Amino acid sequence: MKDYYQILRIPRSASKEEIKQAYRKLAHQYHPDKKGGDEQKFKEINEAYQVLGDERKKAHYDQFGSAFDSRGSDGFQGFDFRNFSGFGAGGFSASGGPAEGWDFGDIFSEFFGGGAKTSTKTRQSGADIEIDIILSLEEAFSGIEREIALRKYIQCPRCAGKKNEPGSSFSDCARCKGTGEIRREQRTFLGSFTQVTTCAHCEGAGKIAQTKCKQCGGAGRIQETEKILIKVPRGIENGQIVELKGKGEAGEGGYGNLYIEVHVREHTQFRRKGADIYSEREISLTQAVLGDTVGVLTLSGNVEVQIPAGIKHGEMIKLEGKGMARLGTGGLGDQYVQVMIKMPKRLSRKATELFEELKREGL
């Protein structure tokens, strides 16, 4: 019996939000397309979330959980909860056998809050790919174009994904009689349900190539390294995702998407708040008293800033239009420079005399 709570590393008392958070963190960590990913763990994590992330399924699991185990040694493996008519989990089913059964696309729409994602994937569409890129704040300011090399499945160029040797014909799949689906009626204590799986023999196509394509061996796709130009717009924020439609893996029903999560490194001198930049500038005691013009570093380069005489320690000077690029609009935010007055620690004899004189002046 699998313990879904243990898989997600959460207590049984975990809230809906905690379950979601745990799932996102772990799914991210073990995603098979990532370095250090683990497909088996990733599937387990998703399996656990399919149940615990759904209030009705969770309630069933909490109540009857161990009863599921009586179905046999394979536990939940390869069993598609989403096909339980009793759960009313409206019509999408996994493809293929257990190993093929996870549509990464659905997982990503979770990740990216993508309720709005207008994916019209069929169950055999290619997997989405997620990659990360790390930018400096300067690169996020200017926007970048970067070419990456991505090893992934592409549609077989010889058969155009049709799997047959060009010119050869197809016959109906004998196992599914050309429907591409295998249906099984089952009765359990939860009620009867129809389990629909994609025909493994024809992989849902309903037809079989009489002569397999020589290049892909009838798989319809081949692995290749593709060079992809990634354009990150100026003003992008840490954690935002750039979507490249159709740049994921090739599948039966077309290509998945490529998602690029952008990480913007912390800057040593700038702090970013939206489109505004905060920085500090140290000035001397005499500059503070007398005023001065000083150089200040901004993302647009060095600028001359007027320090008014008598400025106080910690006072902010606003540099309009010298901040971060605003995503989408092309405008710039502001930079706020906090003035830090450096107090002299050790005075020369001459300086001491001068300060003594200032003291007599009443300063």
Residue 6 host element (H or E) = helix 4-7
Residue 208 binds Zn ion, judged by CB under 5 A: no
> Does residue number 209 form part of the binding site for Zn ion (CB under 5 A)?
no
Residue 264 binding Zn ion, by CB under 5 A: no
Nearest to 148 by CA among 17, 260, 255: 260
Nearer Cβ to Zn ion, position 168 or 338? 168
Orientation of helix 39-52 relative to helix 16-30, angle to 10°: 160
Q: Say whether residue 159 binds Zn ion (CB under 5 A).
A: yes
User: Would you say 233 and 328 are in contact if contact means Cβ atoms under 8 Å apart?
Assistant: yes
Q: Give the one residue of 45, 156, 324, 325 binding Zn ion; rule: CB under 5 A.
A: 156
Q: DSSP string of 261-289?
A: EEEEPPPSS-EEETTEEEEEEEEEHHHHH
Q: Binding residue for Zn ion (CB under 5 A) from 129, 135, 150, 199?
A: 199
129 lies in the binding site for Zn ion (CB under 5 A): no
- Looking only at residues 18 through 57 of this chain, which bind Zn ion when binding is defined by CB under 5 A? none
Task: Determine which helix (DSSP H) or strand (DSSP E) holds 183, and give its type and residue range.
Answer: strand 181-188
Task: Pick one of 142, 215, 240, 284: the residue that binds Zn ion (CB under 5 A).
Answer: 215
Candidates 69-77, 86-94, 116-124, 149-157 — which segment interacts with Zn ion by CB under 5 A? 149-157
Neighbour count for residue 166 (Cβ, 10 Å):
12
Distance CA 190, CA 60 (A): 10
Q: How far apart are CA 30 and CA 20, in angstroms?
A: 15
- Cα 15 to Cα 11: distance, rounded to the nearest angstrom: 9
Task: Give dist(CA 337, CA 318) in Å, integer.
Answer: 6
144 belongs to the binding site for Zn ion (CB under 5 A): no
Taking residues 168 to 197 in sequence order and writing x for each that binds Zn ion by CB under 5 A, - otherwise, the string is: -----x-xx---------------------
Report if residue 250 touches Zn ion, rule: CB under 5 A. no
Residue number, 211 or 215, with CB nearest to Zn ion: 215
Please say which residue, 106 or 203, places its beta carbon nearer to Zn ion. 203
Rule CB under 5 A: choose which of 51, 216, 260, 283 binds Zn ion: 216
Nearer of residues 188 and 210 to Zn ion, judged by Cβ: 210
The amino acid sitting at 61 is: Y
Q: Using CB under 5 A, list all residues that contact Zn ion.
A: 156, 158-159, 173, 175-176, 199, 201-202, 213, 215-216
